[in-house]
Structure 1
Amino acid sequence: MESSVSALIHAAIAEDVGTGDVTSLYFIPEQSRSRAEIVAREPGIVSGSDIATAVFHQIDPALEVEVCIPNGSPFKPGDILLKAAGGTRSLLTAERTALNFLQRLCGVATQTQKYVEAVKPHPVQVWDTRKTTPGWRLIEKAAVKHGGGTNHRMGLYDHAMVKDNHLAANSDLTSLQAAIHKLRAERPGVRVQLEAATLQQVADFLTLDGVDMLLLDNMSTDQQREAVKLVNGKLWLEASGGITLDTIKDVAATGVNAISVGALTHSARALDLALDLY
């Protein structure tokens, strides 16, 4: 597990437990042993079972944890996603933090799966964005993959995306070309993408060397179709901007290669899961 994810889990536990779970410490006998099941109250796609497991083990390494349905798999109401057994105090202390992670990540995976299903049968990828919960990016993007989506750039460091505000500061084509050449020479593994809000920008950017893809920002489906014709397979095209479950199929039909949807992460609803103790 990535060290940043382990640190996130540690911070979440510290936030909740603080100086100790006073309810369990005072109302549950120290010798009490129990088993627990995390049960689905609604259907969805699993993500975060590894994170929930890590929560239980950070609380108490002696807890026995069994993942019943693996990440990326569907579940229905009544299904048991995960089982745990051991000290009752530990199980109850871990309950909320484990559920917070699991409910949220299952929500992201389930939301993503809906968008992926909506674009069928068009051969287009559904991409996530950087609109993630601060500190949660790695695990939310993993949840997108569990839902059948595709990860876009992880951060500012692994993919150059020249957006509208960059272009507002420097839109001269000669300067853009020089910057692309410099980036290619110094960081050859980094992809280069330019954001186009108009068809004229698409045409202009096609004159540049070293560009991997264009982002069609808030274009109508008619404009997207024209952009696909203009590019004619020379570059990858990503459509973005206000895309919903109601509109994504029409966008997919334009012929773009990918559709990015911020709602996969920023608007996913936590699913209804519960921990039942026995």
Structure 2
Amino acid sequence: MPKEYRQVSWDPQLVDDCRYLIRLAFREDLDNEQDWSTVSLVAADAQGSADIAARDSGTLAGVQVIPLIIEEAELDLVWTPQKQDGDSIQCGDVIGNLQGNVRDLLTSERTILNFVCRLTGIATLTRRYVDAATGQARVYDTRKTTPGWRRLEKYAVQCGGGVNHRVGLYAAVMAKDNHLAWSATQRTLADITPQVREFLVAQLGEAGAAEKLIEVEVDSLQQLEAVLPSQPDIILLDNMPPEVLRQAVEMRNRLAPQVELEASGGVNLQTIGPISASGVERVSVGALTHGAVSLDLGLDWKS
């Protein structure tokens, strides 16, 4: 089994990121004042109930953020979910119910919807890409994420059936085109992987080095042929059309069958089918996060 990038889970690190974002969201809305619209129109002790409902179909993500918003903002609300992250939702489906102080409900409405709509949009788009892929290829995200939201957005990718690429620069070695351009005057492509392995062992020891994936980007079959003998964990094939990707797979199968191939560049919902059918194991798609549109969810009053 090939090594894999560490996947984002709903863990304390993600929760901590989320709490920072929640505090920032309320600071944006309230600053050091209050929700003047609500406090001028709603009695302090008013109680009410409202459902969060889907206005469109998709794949749900972000439900787990709602209890954190209630806790972090000290809201007098009770959240009762009816759907979970990863569930398919249809227009009109009730995601869950919020009950309690009406002022708190109205003041937090947009913050709650912003989180869940954004993350559900990412999960929904990811699911479309996963469903459009064929063969053995897995669909990966990238680091093209909203600053501060990376773990949340990568979590949403998982809710949609995708796989997380490296979370950050610290997580793996990825020698991309600009690294290689800088290194070209000092070393050959064949030298990249051995040098990286030697450096990682010196810095982290054998066990620590073994945990770091090494990925090298190439943009031609000639470069691929030069890199394959050094056997990095993954080789990224940049902007290659499907017919060239098939040749790359044949070359890999012949020279280094244990190396996984990742296709990247020019991937959209129309091209992912033939790209993924070429025989590569991975297809990375920046659009999963930077191109996603929030799914429409709304608040429907019950009382």
Q: Smaller-chain TM-score range?
A: over 0.9
Report the equivalent of 2:203.
Answer: 186
Q: Which deviations, in whole Å up to 9, do the C-alpha atoms of 1:187-236 show, x marking residues without a partner?
A: 41110000010111111111225x11100000111111111111112301
Task: Tell me the CA shift for residue 175 of structure 1.
Answer: 4.9
Which whole-Å CA distance do the structure 1 matches of 2:284 and 2:195 have between them?
A: 28
Contact 2:236 2:263 in 1 (8 A): yes
Alignment-mate amino acid for residue 273 of structure 2: K
Aligned counterpart for 2:235 among listed residues 204, 214, 219:
214
Unaligned runs of 5+ in 2: 1-11
- Partner Cα distance (1:245, 1:28) in 2: 47
- Structure 2 length as normaliser, TM-score? 0.88
Q: Secondary structure at the match of 1:207?
A: helix
Partner of 2:29: 16
In the alignment, the residues of structure 1 paired with residue 89 and residue 161 of structure 2 have an alpha-carbon distance, to the nearest angstrom, of 15
- TM-superposed CA distance for 1:103, in Å, is 0.5
Look up the match of 1:31: 45
2:45 alignment partner, SS class: coil
1:141 corresponds to 2:154? yes
3-state DSSP of counterpart to 1:72: coil
TM-superposed deviation, 1:61: 4.2
AA aligned opposite 1:90? D
> Does 2:182 match 1:169?
yes
Structure 1 unaligned blocks of 5 or more: none
Count matched residues: 276
Q: Does the CA contact (< 8 Å) of 1:57 and 1:63 recur in 2?
A: no
How big is the shift at 1:185?
Answer: 4.1
SS of aligned partner of 2:230: coil
What is the alpha-carbon distance in structure 1 between the residues aligned to residue 70 and residue 297 of structure 2? 16
Match of 1:205 in 2: 227
Distance in 2 of aligned mates of 1:274 and 1:7: 24
Aligned to 1:248: 272
* Root-mean-square deviation over aligned CA pairs: 1.3
1:186 Cα offset (Å): 2.5
Choose from 278, 282, 285 the match for 1:258. Answer: 282
Following the alignment from structure 1 to structure 2, what is the Cα–Cα distance between the partners of residues 33 and 59?
18
1:5 paired to 2:14: no
Q: Using the TM superposition, name which of 179-188 and 7-16 deviates more.
A: 179-188
SS at 1:238 equivalent = strand
User: Share of identical aligned residues, percent?
Assistant: 39
2:50 aligned counterpart, secondary structure: strand
